[in-house]
């Protein structure tokens, strides 16, 4: 039957993203079904849970939960059984099986996957730092960064900065142009914290032509001109040699591969 409607109650003692994604993944297999989603994150006490369960009973909802605290999990299961509500604990079976197999008891810590601890806030701080000091917006960031990325246009400076920020690394990046004045702050940074990014000329020509076309402009511009790009690359290489910094050619490398090289050869030193 088409156009059926189901009511889901996603309950979690943390963000509830795991349960919510599972529900959406399953519903994608049933395009004819309409869904009414009730998302209840950070449920940590019985009183709050009872209010949610009462509403689920009234609407004959399907309960999907990732409650790891025994008291709340068992209470939910008992309520659903007594009221004949459909209830799915998407973590318990696997957690119990691993506990039996290893003899190790689970921590039963709410929000273990997405816990709001120092690491979480450090990551948010690193992301905000990367945004603030992206593309040379403020040279002062060069002195505060854990890592400084240099490179001509289309050497993946910004996406690499954001990827590293998600690994709790505070990154500032600076575009390199022959006409642009290199900020004095760059020469005050320890060269061991600087990475110069470069690329193959053919790759840059193709990238830049595609970018022009995406902007609705002719592909042949000064920005995508081969001689111009060669001049930029030489200027960047001379600067890297002058600084004595580590250099990486990002051609044919994914962001993850480049980041791994940086972690192994720069940040681990």
> What does the pLDDT look like over 159-199, one tens digit per residue?
999 999 999 999 999 999 999 999 999 999 999 999 999 99
Judgement on whether residues 214 and 98 belong to the same structural domain of the protein = no
Cβ atoms 255, 156 nearer than 8 A = yes
109 within domain boundaries? no
Last residue within a domain, chosen from 75, 102, 129: 102
* Cα 79 to Cα 81: distance, rounded to the nearest angstrom: 5
Give strand pairing partners of 246. 195
51 within domain boundaries? yes
- As given in the structure block, the two tokens for residue 96 are 């119990």
Question: In sequence order, what E strands does the chain have?
Answer: 4-12, 33-40, 62-66, 87-89, 147-151, 171-175, 194-198, 246-249
211 within domain boundaries? yes
| Span 41-88, pLDDT tens digits | 888 889 999 999 999 999 999 999 988 876 898 999 999 999 999 999
Averaged pLDDT for residues 217-233: 95
* Cα 88 to Cα 83: distance, rounded to the nearest angstrom: 14
* Cα 164 to Cα 171: distance, rounded to the nearest angstrom: 7
Cβ atoms 8, 62 nearer than 8 A = yes
Judgement on whether residues 174 and 263 belong to the same structural domain of the protein = yes
Closest by alpha carbon to 42, among 71, 66, 12?
A: 12
| Span 3-28, pLDDT tens digits | 578 999 999 887 777 888 889 889 88
CATH at residue 152? 3.40.50
Judgement on whether residues 130 and 249 belong to the same structural domain of the protein = yes
Judgement on whether residues 258 and 129 belong to the same structural domain of the protein = yes
- Asked if residue 248 has pLDDT above 80, the reply is yes
Judgement on whether residues 142 and 238 belong to the same structural domain of the protein = yes
- Is the Cα dihedral 245, 246, 247, 253 positive or negative? negative
Last residue within a domain, chosen from 56, 77, 102: 102
What integer pLDDT is reported at residue 1 of this predicted model?
A: 44
111 within domain boundaries? no
Total domain count for the chain? 2
Helix 201-214 vs helix 226-243: angle between axes, to the nearest 10 degrees?
A: 120
241 within domain boundaries? yes
161 within domain boundaries? yes
- As given in the structure block, the two tokens for residue 252 are 């044919």
What integer pLDDT is reported at residue 86 of this predicted model?
A: 96
Judgement on whether residues 60 and 140 belong to the same structural domain of the protein = no
Burial class, 37, CB count within 10 angstroms (exposed 0-12 / middle 13-18 / buried 19+) = middle
* Cα 81 to Cα 78: distance, rounded to the nearest angstrom: 5
Judgement on whether residues 126 and 59 belong to the same structural domain of the protein = no
| Side-by-side strand order, sheet with 171-175 | 171-175, 147-151, 194-198, 246-249
108 within domain boundaries? no
Judgement on whether residues 91 and 154 belong to the same structural domain of the protein = no
- As given in the structure block, the two tokens for residue 178 are 């022959």
Judgement on whether residues 9 and 48 belong to the same structural domain of the protein = yes
113 within domain boundaries? no
Residue 221 zone, left/alpha/beta (φ > 0; ψ -120 to 50; rest): beta
Last residue within a domain, chosen from 68, 102, 136: 102
Per the listing, tokens 């869904």 go with 35
Domain that holds residue 258: 118-267
Judgement on whether residues 254 and 147 belong to the same structural domain of the protein = yes
Alpha helix (H) residue ranges in 46-85: 46-58, 70-83
Give strand pairing partners of 19. none
Judgement on whether residues 21 and 68 belong to the same structural domain of the protein = yes
What integer pLDDT is reported at residue 145 of this predicted model?
A: 97
Judgement on whether residues 122 and 247 belong to the same structural domain of the protein = yes
């Amino acid at each position: 039957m088409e156009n059926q409607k189901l009511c889901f109650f996603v309950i979690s003692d943390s963000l509830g993203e795991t349960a919510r994604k599972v529900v959406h993944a399953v519903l994608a297999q049933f395009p004819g079904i309409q869904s009414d989603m009730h998302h209840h994150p950070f449920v940590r006490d019985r009183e709050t849970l009872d209010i949610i369960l009462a509403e689920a009973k009234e609407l004959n909802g399907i309960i999907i939960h990732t409650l790891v605290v025994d008291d709340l999990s068992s209470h939910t299961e008992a309520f659903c059984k007594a009221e004949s509500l459909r209830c799915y604990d998407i973590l318990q079976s696997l957690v119990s099986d691993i506990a039996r197999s290893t003899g190790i008891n689970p921590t039963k810590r709410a929000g273990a996957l997405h816990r709001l601890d120092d690491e979480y806030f450090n990551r948010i701080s690193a992301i905000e730092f990367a945004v603030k000091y992206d593309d040379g917006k403020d040279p002062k960031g060069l002195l505060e960064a854990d890592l400084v990325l240099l490179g001509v246009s289309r050497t993946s400076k910004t996406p690499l900065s954001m990827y590293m920020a998600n690994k709790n690394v505070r990154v500032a990046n600076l575009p390199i142009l022959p006409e642009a004045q290199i900020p004095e702050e760059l020469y005050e940074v320890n060269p061991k914290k600087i990475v110069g990014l470069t690329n193959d000329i053919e790759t840059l020509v193709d990238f830049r032509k595609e970018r022009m076309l995406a902007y609705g402009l002719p592909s042949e511009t000064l920005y995508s001109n081969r001689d111009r790009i060669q001049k930029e690359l030489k200027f960047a290489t001379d600067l890297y040699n002058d600084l004595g910094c580590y250099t990486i050619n990002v051609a044919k490398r994914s962001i993850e591969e480049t980041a791994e090289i940086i972690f192994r050869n720069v940040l681990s030193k």
